[in-house]
Structure 1
């Protein structure tokens, strides 16, 4: 299967899951900013890895709730993405945003210390 088609499928699945998280999941414990950062669909379209970034102090609890909501995400894919098989979803935590904030804070401290030493 061509890379171009997989890229299109990835994008459509990403849209469907994002929409599901924003509109369909009605759990008051789901707070903060949740972003689908990346989707990697297998070439046989049977499995998909979905990387989520959760920006909240209760991120691990929220991630566990999202893992239990995979069935609703699969329903959203079935409704919104035109593919023959609905893939199995493997949710992964993406820490890249938090890591970039951490690096940014380190750089700010370093710059502040450099200015104070001059």
Structure 2
């Protein structure tokens, strides 16, 4: 991956986190949302944005869907921040459950330790 895309991934991750946390005012966004990773395609036309949502499954899913519905607003805010990019990539949000898997594994390991 070239340096420009890597730098853009990091910059976009930082800006997206700010937009999602501070600029989306939808009352259905009740949980804390973190941007865990951004993968922009080499042609700069698409971006996969991995989101981690804290909270129980129902409210986390509602919050995730609220962010997905706000894609147009998010793209317009990105356009204001990244004026040097000719076209803002199409954003595809992906729910990142790796923290949940990590917590489950930790719980299993602790149970195994207790049994020993």
TM-score calculated relative to the size of structure 2: 0.91
User: 2:68 maps to which residue?
Assistant: 67
Residues in 2 aligned to 1:10 and 1:105: alpha-carbon distance in whole angstroms? 33
Residues in 2 aligned to 1:70 and 1:16: alpha-carbon distance in whole angstroms? 14
Q: Deviations over 1:98-117 (max 9, x none)?
A: 11111111111111111xxx
Which residues of structure 2 form unaligned runs of 5+? none
Which residues of structure 1 form unaligned runs of 5+? none
User: 2:26 maps to which residue?
Assistant: 27
Q: CA deviation at 1:55?
A: 1.1
* 1:32–1:56 CA contact under 8 A, matched in 2: yes
Aligned pair count?
Answer: 113
* 1:48–1:89 CA contact under 8 A, matched in 2: yes
SS of the aligned residue for 2:7 comes to: helix
TM-score calculated relative to the size of structure 1: 0.90
User: 1:46 maps to which residue?
Assistant: 45
Residues in 1 aligned to 2:14 and 2:85: alpha-carbon distance in whole angstroms? 14
Q: How is 1:1-118 mapped onto 2 (pairs within 5 angstroms)?
A: 3-57=2-56, 58-81=59-82, 82-114=84-116
